Structure 1
Amino acid sequence: MNNYQSCIEACMDCIAACEHCASSCLQEKDVKAMAACIRTDLECAAICKAAATLMSMDSKFAHETCRLCADICNACAEECEKHTMDHCKKCAAACRYCAEECVGTVAA
């Protein structure tokens, strides 16, 4: 698990950021305009949970899951970067960092 520790931590931070972003988006005046952001936040949190779980189990599928996690984290960051709200900016940063960690894990 030590090989994965920094990536697991990045995934956990990303989950928190995505869940906070989705919840905050639901409080925005034009929730419909935030639908894609909310959906991507939820998808990103889900894959980060799966990746962290598989890494903690030292699963043979951890690398494949991390590769997918990086793709979804980057997609979430791209969506969040379209918005000016602070919660979206923080989420995008957490997603970019998590994607970098996941790519590093796959390359290791």
Structure 2
Amino acid sequence: MQRGKGCGSLSNRGSTCDAVHTGSIFAEYDVMLLCHFIIFDKELGMKNSSSMAVSEMQSCIDACAQCHQICLKMAMTHCLKMGGKHVEPDHFRLMVNCAEICQTSANFQLSGSAFSARLCAVCADICQACADSCRELDGMEECVQACDACASSCRSMAA
């Protein structure tokens, strides 16, 4: 698949995907799911087929994937190593919940789910709560940054 210009995936009706894939951390399979969603959307004449909406969705998927990775990694490595407040049940549970909702939100967007916007709204709330919790602890700047970015992107998708 070419990167940096419209991917050109083709449906059986002759429609093409005009999304620009910039190297998301998702596997090619997930990118292909997005292409099929775009093509399906285009054939039905729905508003999400615009380049701006596709770009915004891909940015949100990328932010969700990044937040998922960072929250899970930080919870399982940094927080467990630090102990104390880093592993208090409310904080640790929130980090794991944040990682899970981010992964789920990305998957819903990739599948073209009609529930994506509502899930993005919930994802934004959880990411914001996780960022706020992480701000209170040492060494959690990477998690705060990822959660803030994901919350912002998901709020835009939910609007």
Give the AA of the match of 2:127. Answer: C
Q: 2:74 aligns with which of 11, 14, 21?
A: 21
| Bigger relative contact order (CA 8 A; separation at least 6) | 1
If you compute each CA radius of gyration, which structure gives the higher value, 1 or 2?
2
Please report how far the alpha carbon of residue 40 of structure 1 lies from its aligned counterpart in structure 2 after TM superposition. Answer: 1.1
Residue 21 (structure 1) shift = 1.4
Q: Aligned runs of 1:87-106 on 2, under 5 Å?
A: 88-106=140-158
- Counterparts of 1:8 and 1:69, CA distance in 2: 12
The residue matched to 1:102 in structure 2 has which SS?
A: helix
Deviation at 1:82, TM superposition (A): 0.2
TM-score (norm 2): 0.62
2: CA distance, partners of 1:45 / 1:32: 21
Greater helix proportion: 1
The alpha-carbon deviation at position 101 of structure 1 amounts to 0.3
Q: Report how many residues are paired.
A: 103
Tell me how far apart the structure 1 counterparts of residues 127 and 63 of structure 2 sit (CA, whole Å).
11
1:98 alignment partner AA: C
CA distance in 1 between partners of 2:143 and 2:114 (Å):
29
Q: Secondary structure at the match of 1:26?
A: helix
**4+ aligned runs moved over 4 Å, structure 1:** none
The whole-number CA distance in structure 1 between the counterparts of 2:73 and 2:113 is: 28
Q: Give the distance between the partners of 1:92 and 1:105, measured in 2 at CA.
A: 20
Q: Is the 8 Å Cα contact of residues 85 and 137 (structure 2) preserved in structure 1? A: no
Q: Is the 8 A contact 1:21 1:38 kept in 2?
A: no
- Runs of 5+ in structure 2 lacking a partner? 1-33, 35-53
CA RMSD of aligned residues (A): 1.1
Work out the CA distance in 1 between the residues paired with 2:81 and 2:72. 13
